Structures are given as C-alpha cells and as structure tokens.
Amino acid sequence: MAAWGLRIAVVAAGLALGAVCAQEQAVRGQGSSAKAGAVEFLYPEQVTVEAGKPAVVKLHFRVAEGMHINSHAPKDEFLIPTTLEFPDGTGVKLERAEYPVGGEFAFANDPGSKLSVYMHEFEIEAHIRAEKGNHLVEAKLHYQACNNTQCLPPRTATVAVDVIGK
Amino acid sequence: MKRNTIVLGVVLFILATFAWAGWANFEFRQQAAQLRLASAERGMLVADPQGGPPEYVSPLVGKPAPAFALEDLSGAKVSLASYKGKAVLINFWATWCAPCKIETPWIVELRNQYGAQGFEVLGISADDLDRGDAKKFGEEKDEIAQSATKMHIPYPVLIDGATLSDAYGGLDELPMSFYVDRNGVVVAAQMGLTSKSEIEGNIKKAMGM
C-alpha cells in the first residue's frame, strides 16, 4: 500500500516539476526570438594561412527563413548592398571580397520588378593577407533585410574569425 | 517505521514541489502580464486564426494620434496639428525600403483622388540622419529628396521619422501607416505591404465615408 503511495507521489512530483519547467520555457521563448538578426555567420571560426601571402577564405552565411537581403549589386540605386569590411589594425587585411551573384526576387504585388537578393545560404570569398601570428578578426557584414511584405532597418553583423598566419 | 519515514519525506517533497509550482505559476503570470503590457505599448502582428495574413494590431487605434512637428525637405517645420479637420495618412517609409516603393504610387493616386475632399498624406522618412556632420546630413537629405522625386511624391515629405518610433508603437519594420480621422484620432494602422484597395478602405474610414 505504502509502495503504491510512493509511486503515485513520485509521478505527481514529476508532473509538477515538468509543468513548472514548461512554464519557464514558455515565458523565455517569447522574448528571445525578436532579437535575432536576419543573417547568421556559419563558418569558418578559424583558418590558417601563409603569413604575408594572399589567401582566400570562404565565409558562409545563412539568411533567416522567409527573409532575403539585398545582394552586393541590388538593381535599385537606393537599396543598400551587402558589404563585408575588415577593421584596420588587426594584422589581417581584406584586399578584396568576391560576392555571389544575387538571385531574383519579386514582391507578390509587383511581380514585374525583380530585385537581386541573397536567400537561404550564401558565401563571400574574402581575399586576405595576414601577418604572422594569431589574429582574432571581427569583420562586419552590412546588410538590409526584408520579408515578403516589410523591411527591417539596415544592420551590421559581426563575423568573428580567428586567422592564424604561419 | 522506515517506510513511514520515506512516505512522509515524499509527501513533504510533493507539498514543497506544489508550493514551488504555485510560486512559479505566480511569477509566470506576472511576466506574461508584463509582456502583454509591453506589447500594448508597441504594435504587433497577430496571427489570423483562419490562416490568412497576420493582422497588425496597433495600440494607437482609437486614440488621438501622437502630436509631432518635423522638418520637411526644405527645412520648414510641419506639424500634424496643422492638418486638423483633414483626414491624414501618416506613411512611414525609407529610401532603402523596397515594398515602400511599391505602395507609394498607390498612395499618390489615392491622394490625388481624395485630396479635394479633405484628405492629405504625410510621408515620413525613417532614414537615419547624421545631424552631427553637416556634409553627411546634407547628402542623406538629398538622397531622401531624390528618392521622393523619383517616386513623384506630391505631398509633404518629412525627415527624422525615427524620433517618432516610441510614440507610434515602434517602427521596426517598414512600410508602416496610420490613418487619422478629421478629429485627430487614429482609426486604422497597417504594417507591411498590403494592397491599394486596403489602403483605400482605410482612407475612406479616416474620411468618414
């Protein structure tokens, strides 16, 4: 009899604990999604290159589902192009960046106007030259994102890469 | 005896767990109330239970439109109060906003259609402006003017729209429109690209038609 009481008590305690955890998760979940950016840097986190020599690093990014960002060459003069910048004084110089060609996108209410955008995943080839040593580069990706009906203000994402020049 | 002690311990544990659950539930309700309060001050998209596009719900609808006085492209101050007695569409846009460029020609057409009946549009640019750097500020203002000219906007274009973000429930996404009736009350709000007919419907609502 006592054994049954014990089992029921343990199950009840487990259910109560589960309910509390679920509530906490629900509250936390509501606040976190709004702060997420539209572009996520995927990889690489670390690269090793020959010091003083030109090298190519392929930086991979993902655009949030349902969103797009302008390509490096948008078709409208006022739209903000996606650009990559390396800060000065890090021991790694960005000599040039090669951007992918954008895909075509049109808003449903204006199918005739095609925009040049990046969606899903894309990569930028950074042509760099690194000094000897270990350099944590915090590059900046400037972009402006929209979905099917609205646009977010221009944003800058940090692209952190550990560059080892040997 | 030992079994009784275990059962007693478990019962106490359950009571403590339920007390904790009760407290956590109270905390949860408090946090949820705070979130509701926060969303009441900011506009938000609400999912359509029928599966249609989400509806933008603004806390401003039914309330007087927040007053403002902003510079137009010539540097003159333009206030919302000076349009009292008219139905006004306050349209937030930006040079970098592609859907804004789709809806603007519709707004221009509707303004031309209903202007004589006491309807006006205030196009408020939300582009960032660097007022600390005169040269850059001039260039940024020129860019807004060029974009407005390219879209043949005949109504006043005001700048510094970002300063109205808090008053207008957050301008995190564009385009954003507020329809103000002849008494200065917001009767409808829209976020994102909709359709010309929806804009026209809201204009008629603001005009009391």
pLDDT per residue, tens digit, chain B (209 aa), is 677 787 788 778 888 877 787 777 766 665 555 544 444 467 777 766 777 667 788 999 999 999 999 999 999 999 999 999 999 999 999 999 999 999 999 999 999 999 999 999 999 999 999 989 999 999 999 999 999 999 999 999 999 999 999 999 988 899 999 999 999 999 999 999 999 999 999 999 999 99
> Which tokens go with A75?
């078709």
Which residue is closest to B193 within chain A, CA to CA? A149
For chain A, the residues whose C-beta falls within 8 A of a C-beta of chain B are 2, 5-6, 9-10, 12-13, 16-17, 19-20, 23-24, 26-27, 30-31, 76, 78-80, 107, 109-110, 113, 115, 144, 146, 148-154
Mutation to test the A interface, candidates B2, B42, B97, most A Cβ within 10 Å = B97
In contact, A90 and A139? CB cutoff 8 Å: no
List CB contacts (< 8 A) between A23 and chain B. 24-25, 28
CA–CA separation, B82 and B69 (whole Å): 9
In contact, B88 and B206? CB cutoff 8 Å: yes
Indicate whether A53 and A26 sit together in one domain: no
Phi/psi-derived region of residue A56, left when phi > 0, alpha when psi is between -120 and 50, beta in every other case: beta
Residue A45 belongs to domain with CATH number: 2.60.40.1250
Query: What per-residue confidence (pLDDT) applies to B15?
Result: 83
Distance from CA of B78 to the nearest CA of A (A): 25
Query: What per-residue confidence (pLDDT) applies to B184?
Result: 97
In contact, A157 and A144? CB cutoff 8 Å: no
Helical axes B98-114 vs B196-207, angle rounded to 10° = 40
List CB contacts (< 8 A) between B3 and chain A. 2
Indicate whether A9 and A86 sit together in one domain: no
pTM above 0.90, yes or no: no
**Domain boundaries, position A143:** 36-165
Indicate whether A98 and A21 sit together in one domain: no
CA–CA separation, A62 and A119 (whole Å): 8
Indicate whether A94 and A21 sit together in one domain: no
Cα–chain center distance at B120: 19
CA–CA separation, A140 and A152 (whole Å): 18
Distance from CA of B117 to the nearest CA of A (A): 28
Indicate whether A75 and A15 sit together in one domain: no
Query: What per-residue confidence (pLDDT) applies to A134?
Result: 96
Indicate whether A114 and A90 sit together in one domain: yes
From A13, A144, A150, residue closest to B96, measured CB to CB: A144
Indicate whether A77 and A153 sit together in one domain: yes
From A26, A109, A152, residue closest to B172, measured CB to CB: A152
B188 touches chain A (CB under 8 A): no
Indicate whether A44 and A27 sit together in one domain: no
Whether A27 and B31 lie within 8 Å, measured CB to CB: yes
Q: Enumerate residue ranges in chain A where pLDDT < 70.
A: 1-36
Name the domain count of chain A. Answer: 2
Which residues 153-182 of B have a C-beta within 8 angstroms of A?
172-175
Indicate whether A91 and A72 sit together in one domain: yes
CA–CA separation, B195 and B205 (whole Å): 16
Distance from CA of B116 to the nearest CA of A (A): 28
Whether B28 and A24 lie within 8 Å, measured CB to CB: yes
Indicate whether A17 and A83 sit together in one domain: no
Indicate whether A82 and A13 sit together in one domain: no
Indicate whether A45 and A64 sit together in one domain: yes
Whether A150 and B191 lie within 8 Å, measured CB to CB: yes
Per-residue burial over B48-83, b if 16 or more Cβ lie within 10 Å, else e, is eeeeeeeebebbbbeeebeebebeebeeeebebeeb
